[in-house]
């Protein structure tokens, strides 16, 4: 379901072609996509990765656009090593002198902003190890300048139900609000089952 189809479906299902609704549809769609992200953060379209090289003596690194960090790894002597996740206080207690360097073993989430997340490594890197960060971030949403998205192409029922739920809230239509919330919850549950199959090996999962 592309952007034009979604806009048309919202207006057809709700049976409202008022200027007030038309002017708010982009916001409604954005809110619906955000709700899907919060309910289904493990969708393939939200899984991102970034990589680079560490800087000797630098322990803080910004992960642009990240909303959640999945895992952090470094390459040491050709071996990929995944760092342990710890809270800030543990990191500071474990490595109190950040000027001392060694091979990083763990990371913490230091802070977050609208531009992404900052992670702290400990020990402070003693070499320019290659690193990788797997993280979660929203995909580019549907709009007049972005006709298609992964969710629109692969999770139409979830997207439409979320958009109709948000539209009902906008119009303060209690009857359809209840109806489309139920449809959204059901669509999310079904898609979670699909994702469980996607992320589970058939042999190990007994599927």
Residue 203 pLDDT greater than 70, yes or no: no
pLDDT in tens, 23-41: 999 999 999 999 999 999 9
pLDDT score of 94: 95
Residue 139 pLDDT greater than 80, yes or no: yes
Contact 101, 56 (CB under 8 A): yes
pLDDT score of 200: 72
Question: Helical H runs in the chain?
Answer: 3-14, 19-39, 88-94, 150-154, 156-171, 174-198, 202-205
Residue 85 pLDDT greater than 60, yes or no: yes
Please give the backbone phi and psi of residue 142, each rounded to the nearest 5 degrees, phi first: -70, 140
Q: Determine the Cα–Cα distance for residues 43 and 25; give it in Å rounded to an integer.
A: 24
pLDDT score of 114: 86
Q: Determine the Cα–Cα distance for residues 207 and 190; give it in Å rounded to an integer.
A: 16
Distance set, CA 140 to CA 70, 80, 166 (Å): 20, 30, 19
pLDDT class for 199, splitting at 50, 70, 90? confident
Pick the more confident residue, 119 or 197: 119
pLDDT class for 201, splitting at 50, 70, 90? low
Q: Determine the Cα–Cα distance for residues 140 and 11; give it in Å rounded to an integer.
A: 23
pTM over 0.85: yes
pLDDT class for 204, splitting at 50, 70, 90? low
Residue 166 pLDDT greater than 90, yes or no: yes
Burial bucket for residue 167 (CB in 10 Å: 0-12, 13-18, 19+): buried
Please give the backbone phi and psi of residue 143, each rounded to the nearest 5 degrees, phi first: -165, 180
């Amino acid at each position: 379901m592309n952007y034009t189809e979604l806009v048309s479906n919202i207006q057809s299902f709700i049976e409202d072609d008022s200027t007030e609704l038309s002017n708010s549809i982009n916001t409604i769609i954005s809110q619906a996509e955000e709700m899907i992200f919060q309910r289904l953060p493990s969708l393939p379209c939200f899984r991102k990765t970034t990589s680079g090289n560490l800087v000797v003596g630098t322990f803080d690194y910004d992960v642009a656009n990240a909303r959640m960090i999945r895992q952090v790894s470094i390459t040491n002597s050709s071996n990929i090593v995944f760092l342990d996740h710890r809270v800030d206080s543990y990191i500071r207690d474990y490595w109190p002198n950040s000027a001392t360097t060694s091979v990083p073993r763990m990371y913490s989430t230091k802070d977050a902003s609208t531009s992404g997340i900052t992670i702290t490594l400990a020990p402070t890197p003693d070499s320019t190890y290659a690193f990788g960060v797997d993280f979660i971030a929203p995909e580019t949403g549907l709009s007049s300048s972005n006709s298609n998205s992964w969710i629109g192409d692969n999770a139409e029922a979830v997207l439409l139900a979320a958009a109709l739920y948000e539209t009902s809230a906008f119009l303060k239509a209690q009857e359809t609000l209840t109806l489309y919330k139920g449809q959204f919850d059901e669509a999310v549950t079904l898609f979670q089952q699909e994702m469980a199959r996607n992320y589970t090996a058939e042999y190990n999962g007994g599927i």
